[in-house]
Amino acid sequence: MTASLLHAPRLHRTVLANGLTLLVLENPVADIISARIFIRAGSAFETPADAGLVSFLMGLLTKGTESLSSMDIAEAVESVGASLGTDATTDYSVISLKTVAADFEDIFSLAADLLRRPSFPEAEIDLEQRLTLQQIRSMQEQPFTVAFNELRQAMYGSHPYALSSVGTEASVAAFTQDSLRAFHRQHFRPDNLVVTVVGRISPEAAVAQVERTLGDWAVPTTPPPTLQFPTVTPPHTRLPLFQDTNQAIVMVGYDGASVQHPAYAALKLLNTYLGNGLSSRLFVELREKRGLAYDVSAFYPTRLGQSQFVAYIGTAPGNAATALEGLRFEVERLRETLLTEDELQAAKNKLLGQYALGKQTNAQLAQLLGWYEILGLGVEFDQQFPDLINAVTALDAEAVAQAFFRDPTIVLLGPEATIAPLVP
């Protein structure tokens, strides 16, 4: 076991003998402890045939273990006012918990049991399948979701990021206890874990707790699964989706950089400038000044693999052509228009202010530190990120815009009479 202190005496990093990484941040201010158990297994490991498996599996972790029923688990958590939940993303999965310090040992032991010994009861699988199928069908009635699913699939092609996180009706219906157990056996292993504990607990006590519950977990003889992402070449085309809606959805998707790419910080800053909040460029120009938008924004997800930079607008169907022109103009003008010093500094202040506000609670800190570690950036990235943002110049932003904001993939959803003329 190796240990070290990072940045401050309160932050303690430990690697157990079985390869599990533990980060502990002691914060005695409130009698609360938050913890996360990150698993280096997200939907990026799925194929079209088993799309949605990771999300489905994580939802079932709280439905039973070898010794506890779903009711036993719920009562153990609710009886002490704690919280315990799960989530799955493209690049990782996570078990989250929060409790008062006196109950941390019991609730963390329960979380470790869910992690190591889920039973995947057949009755719970059947129920989860019915609920997930209902969710998939409901999503097909949501214009924004339909448009984004089409954009994501078009941009990513055979890349696993193209897949829906909840799967398809065919893939979900095919999930079995055996397929869930096989994925769990392959990916849920101590050397694939990062555990974060933040709150009123000493590093020594946290290490002892994790050692008791997870330290005896043997490492398999085979190495953990790794990903080899295929090269992505977006089609740079216009895709029509005809729906008789009262609102047209226009989306433009540009190639985006991975979190480890040199352009990451500049793209985050441009995303803030273009689409973050009521003072953003897209909101002011397209909604406030031109009255084109019911909703307008941009997003740029942080990804281990190649990301995407997406700008979108919801508008009256008759305004779809003008909205598309305006959306592309506002994004692509940055290829040849330098941000002013005031614009650049305002975007930096907004982004870094929101970043600081996202680190106020034990739960937020446990999430952030574990997220950086599981992505391979290390907790040092928490200190590096503000420096990277502050270092971006107007010329840097323009160069990144020139490299990324060209030849978008476009999705247009709305009534055929207004959308069809916009597609060559």
Tens digits of residue pLDDT in 105-130: 999 999 999 999 999 999 999 999 99
Per-residue pLDDT at 8: 47
Per-residue pLDDT at 3: 43
Per-residue pLDDT at 69: 96
Rounded to whole angstroms, how far apart are CA atoms 306 and 309? 10
Per-residue pLDDT at 236: 86
Q: Of all helices (H) and strands (E), which one includes residue 125?
A: helix 122-139
Per-residue pLDDT at 234: 81
Amino acid 58 reads M
Per-residue pLDDT at 235: 84
Per-residue pLDDT at 117: 97
Rounded to whole angstroms, how far apart are CA atoms 142 and 153? 17
Going by their DSSP bridges, the two strands 308-315 and 248-255 should be labelled as antiparallel
Q: Give the angle 162-163-164 at the CA atoms, nearest 5°.
A: 125
Rounded to whole angstroms, how far apart are CA atoms 270 and 344? 9
Amino acid 289 reads K
Name the phi and psi angles at 104, rounded to 5. -60, -45
Tokens of 53: 């498996």
Residues in the chain, pLDDT under 50? 1-9
Rounded to whole angstroms, how far apart are CA atoms 26 and 317? 54
133 Cβ contact list (under 8 Å, min separation 6): 169, 172, 173
pTM, rounded to two decimals: 0.93
The total of other beta-carbon atoms located within 10 Å of residue 118's CB is 22
**Among 363, 294, 289, 364, which Cα is nearest to 330's?**
289
The model's pLDDT over 209-231, given as tens digits with 9 standing for 90+, comes to: 999 999 999 999 999 999 889 88
**Among 94, 123, 22, 150, which Cα is nearest to 423's?**
150
Strand runs (DSSP E) across 225-338, as ranges?
Answer: 238-242, 248-255, 295-299, 308-315
Cα 201 versus chain centre, distance: 28
For the chain, domains (ranges, CATH) are 2-214 (3.30.830.10), 238-422 (3.30.830.10)
Cα 312 versus chain centre, distance: 19
Using only the alpha carbons of the chain, give its radius of gyration.
23
